[in-house]
């Protein structure tokens, strides 16, 4: 992966002049991992505009750092930010990843950069797309294997544990996030924690889960029916499915984020359920389960500007628009208080030739 990390640092370095910085002090743990390959709880990397870099970490990780970060200077120091700061000219810090106390320890007068590494991370390279693809395959396979076991009497917790066990048995390194299994009336709560409620005939059951694979995340939601669904349940399902399809078809390079959201939200609104779909349509997926870009109804504000910087980067890294090679979820839902809900979610990659679906489980209503 060394060549990959070198390329990522070069892409980042090329953005620095537009932010009027000679270097960036990267302290966000996920960002450090992205730029160097080192996963740790205490490391920072200084990337200069000439694309050279120095990494600092403490004694716990120094061995791994020397192994993983071939080709860049590595220093052992527990105050990782303090150790790197004097090693460059005008250095910007990551405002989103530094405490106020940490900022003032460094002098309190450094340019504060926002989401610069995140803007590079948003567009994935081939290595990353392969890992997200694998995470999604494991998620699909776990669902297919657990599906025949779903029956009335099984509790939400038991269903969640079955999905999670299966993903790990199939090769996942862990879970992408805390699984959601919401049955019957609990389906009205978008982020319901699995409870001891047993599945009952007549329930819709929403399952939102995903595998973690070598640091990369998958995210999928399916809603199934236990026994023949009532008319209102099938109608709700068909509506959410149509909205999910509309959102997916709108997820094209160049599309404004709020327009993708609107493609799905519009259908739900027209059907009279707008007030029951309160969350955003989707989010980026990568080294984090929720990352840039965020598909929501919010119209673009001015992208966050670094302090004291008037020039913008040449290329707008998509604070407001989708681009080729950006993985996102599309996950509309309708939640009816006291009755239940439906959410359908895929992880897909925005591509020039149209969306590449990564979670491939059927979206037909499964009646169990």
Judged by the rule CB under 5 A, the positions of this chain that interact with Zn ion are 208, 219, 221, 329, 345
Residue among 11 and 244 whose Cβ is closer to Zn ion: 244
**Sign of the dihedral through C-alpha 208, 327, 148, 245:** positive
Residue among 137 and 345 whose Cβ is closer to Zn ion: 345
* Token pair in block for residue 179: 């699984």
Residue among 94 and 208 whose Cβ is closer to Zn ion: 208
Q: Provide, rounded to whole angstroms, the least separation between the CB of residue 126 and Zn ion.
A: 23
Residue among 208 and 291 whose Cβ is closer to Zn ion: 208
Residue among 318 and 333 whose Cβ is closer to Zn ion: 333
- CA–CA gap between residue 120 and residue 327 (Å, rounded): 13
DSSP state of 149: G
Q: Provide, rounded to whole angstroms, the least separation between the CB of residue 165 and Zn ion.
A: 19
Residue among 6, 342, 329, 302 at smallest CA distance from 139 = 329
Q: Provide, rounded to whole angstroms, the least separation between the CB of residue 104 and Zn ion.
A: 36
Q: Provide, rounded to whole angstroms, the least separation between the CB of residue 89 and Zn ion.
A: 41
* Token pair in block for residue 68: 């993983």
- CA–CA gap between residue 275 and residue 184 (Å, rounded): 20
* Token pair in block for residue 140: 């699909």
Q: Provide, rounded to whole angstroms, the least separation between the CB of residue 184 and Zn ion.
A: 20
Q: Provide, rounded to whole angstroms, the least separation between the CB of residue 193 and Zn ion.
A: 14
Residue among 289, 309, 349 at smallest CA distance from 123 = 349
Q: DSSP states of 292-307 as a string?
A: EEEE-SPPP-PPPPPT
Return the residue matching tokens 């290595």.
Answer: 127
Residue among 134 and 329 whose Cβ is closer to Zn ion: 329
Q: Provide, rounded to whole angstroms, the least separation between the CB of residue 328 and Zn ion.
A: 9
Residue among 119 and 221 whose Cβ is closer to Zn ion: 221
Contact assessment for residue 306 and residue 19, using Cβ atoms and an 8 Å cutoff: yes
* Token pair in block for residue 83: 């150790």
Residue among 141 and 343 whose Cβ is closer to Zn ion: 343
Q: Provide, rounded to whole angstroms, the least separation between the CB of residue 74 and Zn ion.
A: 36
Cis amide bond preceding 166, omega within 30: no
Report the phi/psi class of residue 108: left, alpha or beta, with left for phi > 0 and alpha for psi in -120 to 50: left
Q: Provide, rounded to whole angstroms, the least separation between the CB of residue 343 and Zn ion.
A: 8
Contacts of 7 (CB under 8 A, 6+ apart): 125
Q: Provide, rounded to whole angstroms, the least separation between the CB of residue 221 and Zn ion.
A: 5
Contact assessment for residue 90 and residue 22, using Cβ atoms and an 8 Å cutoff: yes
Residue among 46 and 220 whose Cβ is closer to Zn ion: 220
Residue among 65 and 350 whose Cβ is closer to Zn ion: 350
- CA–CA gap between residue 198 and residue 141 (Å, rounded): 24
Where does the chain have alpha helices with state H?
2-15, 29-36, 62-68, 80-84, 100-105, 116-122, 126-146, 156-170, 231-250, 257-270
Contact assessment for residue 188 and residue 337, using Cβ atoms and an 8 Å cutoff: yes
- CA–CA gap between residue 155 and residue 172 (Å, rounded): 24
């Amino acid at each position: 992966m060394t060549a990959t990390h070198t390329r990522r640092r070069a892409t980042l370095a090329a953005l620095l002049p537009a932010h009027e910085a000679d270097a960036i002090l990267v302290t966000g743990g996920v960002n450090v991992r992205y730029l160097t390959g080192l996963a740790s709880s205490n490391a920072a990397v200084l990337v200069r505009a000439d694309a050279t870099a120095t990494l600092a970490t403490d004694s716990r990780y120094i061995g791994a750092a020397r192994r993983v970060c071939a080709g860049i200077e590595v220093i052992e120091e527990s105050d990782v930010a303090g150790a790197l700061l004097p090693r460059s000219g005008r250095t910007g810090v990551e405002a989103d990843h530094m405490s106020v106390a940490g900022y003032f320890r460094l002098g309190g007068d450094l340019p504060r950069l926002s989401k610069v590494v995140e803007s590079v991370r948003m567009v994935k390279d081939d290595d990353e797309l392969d890992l997200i693809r694998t995470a999604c395959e494991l998620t699909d396979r776990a669902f297919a294997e657990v599906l025949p076991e779903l029956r009335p009497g099984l509790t939400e917790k038991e269903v969640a544990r079955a999905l999670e066990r299966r993903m790990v048995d199939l090769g996942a390194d862990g879970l992408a996030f805390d699984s959601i299994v919401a049955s019957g009336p609990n389906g009205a709560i978008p982020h319901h924690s699995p409870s001891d409620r047993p599945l009952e005939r007549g329930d819709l059951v929403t399952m939102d889960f995903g595998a973690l694979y070598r640091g990369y995340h998958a995210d999928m939601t399916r809603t199934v029916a236990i026994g023949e669904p009532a008319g209102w349940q099938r109608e709700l399902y068909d509506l959410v499915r149509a909205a999910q399809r509309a959102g997916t078809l709108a997820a094209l390079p160049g599309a404004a984020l709020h327009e993708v959201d609107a493609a799905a939200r519009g259908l739900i609104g027209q059907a009279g359920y707008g007030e029951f779909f309160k969350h955003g349509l989707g989010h980026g997926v990568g080294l984090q389960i929720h990352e840039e870009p965020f598909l929501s109804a919010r119209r673009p504000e001015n992208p966050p500007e670094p302090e004291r910087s008037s020039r913008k980067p040449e290329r707008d890294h998509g604070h407001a628009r989708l681009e080729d090679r950006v993985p996102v979820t599309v996950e509309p839902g309708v939640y009816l208080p006291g009755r239940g809900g439906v959410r359908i979610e895929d992880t897909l990659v925005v591509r020039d030739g149209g969306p590449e679906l990564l979670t491939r489980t059927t979206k037909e209503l499964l009646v169990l």
